Structure 1
Amino acid sequence: MIQTLFETPSAYRPTDAEMAAPVPPVEAVLFDFSNTIFQMIDLETWLRRVGAASGRLPRLDEPGVLAETSQQLRTAFRLPAVVALQEGRDLSAERHRRAMRGWWERVDFLRGVEDTAYRELIAADAWIPYPDTEAVLRALRDRGLRVGIVSDFAWDLRTHLTHHGLDSLVDTCVISYEHAREKPDPHLFLKACADLGTDPRATLMVGDNPVRDGGATACGLRTYILPAEHRTGERGLTDVLRLVA
């Protein structure tokens, strides 16, 4: 079915001999982007950027406004109408923008400046690599492994890689909005393997979501799932190097 709908020159169909042979060594590593190798700037910094760009920064410094805004964001995100908007939001830029607007318009500080807030969300410097991201990507490169990103994302995350000087360490990016498909759709993983010229069985997928990222196993990839926690220090990516030794 994948080959029928898409021009993907790689598929998971190991032969009987391959199934009986030793597992091939890892030749390529795929990473999720958000909360795996990059994270968004902290909430207060983002709100202050929105405030500065919209002229509302003085309001944010009024007593209790920052805490109230944070609470309104959490509360609004649980509303059924907002939850419904998040479904499939990374399938296109338009759906993602609509999902964010539907959320932010329920927050006093952001209501009326949703477009400004969105510009600050996708700004090149609004997403930053974890402290151990660059070192691990360089180590993989030094070992001769190919590196790719497979991410549910609604805009071109390459702008963030370039901003931080990491674009030369990533060989391909397969992003959901460019294919109108989200993980764990096998097409995304197989497309990345095809781009890298590697057998899925010789490829490792690293992410933080056991369903979306772990779904790569259905395509023959190995997976390594990081704890889904809001890290402020190193992400624990050095463990990946032991898996490809």
Structure 2
Amino acid sequence: MSLPPVCGPEGPIRTTPAGPHDAAPATVRAVLFDFSGTLFQIETYAARIRSALGRPVDDATMDRILGGLEAGLSNPEVVRAQQARDVSSHAHRHAFTTWYASVPELAPCAGALYAQLQAPEQWVPYTDTATALARLAQAGLALGVVSDVGWDLRATFAHHGLDGYFSAWVHSYEHGTEKPDPVLFHHACRELGADPSETLMVGDHPAKDGGAVGAGLRAYVLPAGSAPGSLRGLDAVLRLAGLSQ
């Protein structure tokens, strides 16, 4: 889903029909991908909590813990910790461990839950991830990862045999900023040797990933996330890149 180029509070300021002399969009030569919720999804919270606690947890207790996590998102201390959480490894860890620890049962294992985030085996590629990446690479498109994250993602991609498709890795914590800062998108384009106008950003966050439009790229924002191991709808990316099904 592309964001409109120029909008006021009520929508597009002006819509002008394409004229005979308007230039056609540049061919897509590079595709940038977000990580979580786009190519991969982490194991369920319930499974991760049981593993971190190291003991059985009945359904009623799990529902209470999960409810506590949801309520924790409104906790003022947790809210403060989330601000600029992806600009450094320290900020990222602090944001997540503060959130986990807002639930009393999880406070003793907040560090273990955070370690799971960095564990490659905890992440599951969507069913269509490998196929989509292979098709794009075979067609000669350059691929990169641009992610708001607090650690290096290459080990996770390598664990699943998917790292070889990418020539650019842009992690927010290494640049001290977050999407949609054009710095991240432009750095990835330079790494791939692609002009922003020839580059498509794919993600699941309208403001962060869709914000690539402000940096001169095209953007496709996937619908709300799917369960781990399910189809993600990445066939749409192939069509946007000009590849037939």
TM-score between both structures, scaled by the size of structure 2? 0.86
- Structure 1 position 22, deviation (Å): 3.1
Residue 157 of structure 1, aligned match among 150, 153, 159: 153
- Pair 1:235 & 2:232 matched: yes
1:175-186 equivalent positions in 2, closer than 5 A: 175-186=171-182
Identity of aligned residues (%): 44
Alignment-mate amino acid for residue 66 of structure 1: M
2:191 equivalent to 1:195: yes
- Name the counterpart of 2:241: 244
Equivalent residues in 2 for 1:10-159, closer than 5 Å:
21-52=23-54, 57-58=55-56, 60-61=57-58, 64-159=60-155
CA contact (8 A) 2:179 2:209 kept: yes
Aligned length: 221
How far is the alpha carbon of 1:20 from its aligned partner?
Answer: 5.9
Unaligned runs of 5+ in 2: 1-20
Cα RMSD, aligned residues only: 1.6
Moved over 6 A (4+): none
Report the TM-score when normalising by structure 1.
Answer: 0.86
For the residue of structure 1 that corresponds to 2:200, the secondary structure is strand
Q: Distance in 1 between matches of 2:128 and 2:67?
A: 31
Gaps of 5+ in 1: 1-18
Partners of 2:143 and 2:68 lie apart in 1 by 39
Could you say which residue in structure 2 is the equivalent of 1:11? none
SS in structure 1 of the partner of residue 48 of structure 2: helix
Classify the secondary structure of the residue corresponding to 1:183: coil
Deviation at 1:79, TM superposition (A): 1.3
What secondary structure sits across from 1:173 in the alignment?
strand
Q: How many angstroms apart in 1 are the aligned matches of 2:161 and 2:104?
A: 36
Query: CA offsets per residue over residues 71-126 of structure 1, 9 Å max, x none?
Result: 11111122122112111111111011111221122212211222222212211111
